[in-house]
Structures are given as structure tokens and as C-alpha cells.
Amino acid sequence: MTDKTIKIMEGLFLKAIPISVLNDDWAQRNHGQTIERLAERGGIDVSEALAIIERRDWEKIETEKPVAELKLMEAVADRYWAEETYLAQLGDVPDD
């Protein structure tokens, strides 16, 4: 599945993530902008992406950047896998 992505600003490991794993309502709530607009403006950082994925208010993560990025990788994988599983149940994803 091809997916639009959003840049992860100053990412060490992740340079971009699929937009489909993000929640536009939470992007609006935390930033007053759509995910598409955030992407046009240069992307989001790790803590912003995690807050949108986890559907919670944004706060700066006070941890080492590699640890935060690993947490983001896990959250993206969980959300993306859940979406793929759901689509497969609907019959919209061809089996490889």
C-alpha cells in the first residue's frame, strides 16, 4: 500500500511516517492545523507525532531522542498494522 508521508523533523532514524497513522482531529486540537497543512509547513517532531498517534495533548518529551524515536516507531507499527489488518478483513488488501 502506498501512503502519503509526513516528515519527522530532526529525526535520527525516522525521516517520515505514513499520514494514515495520524489522527487529524488531534492534529487540529494540538496545533490548530490539519495533518496536510503540518506536512506542507515542514513536518512534525517526534513528540508531536506521538501525541497525535496516541490521541493526547502534546507535551515535550523529556527523554533521549533515540528512545523517543523508538517509541514512535513502535506506535507507528502498531497503528499501521491495525489498519492493514482491518482492511484485510474487509477484503481490500490483496494477500501477497
Q: What percent of the chain has pLDDT over 70?
A: 80
SS3 track for the chain: CCCCEEEECCCCCCCEEEHHHCCHHHHHHHHCCCHHHHHHCCCECHHHHHHHHCCCCCCCCCCCHHHHHHHHHHHHHHHHHHHHHHHHHHCCCCCC
Q: Is the pTM of this model over 0.95?
A: no
For 35-81, how does the pLDDT look when each residue is reduced to its tens digit (9 = 90+)? 999 999 999 999 899 999 989 898 877 667 777 878 888 888 887 77
Domain ranges of the chain: 5-89
For 49-59, how does the pLDDT look when each residue is reduced to its tens digit (9 = 90+)? 999 998 989 88
How many residues does the structure list for the chain? 96
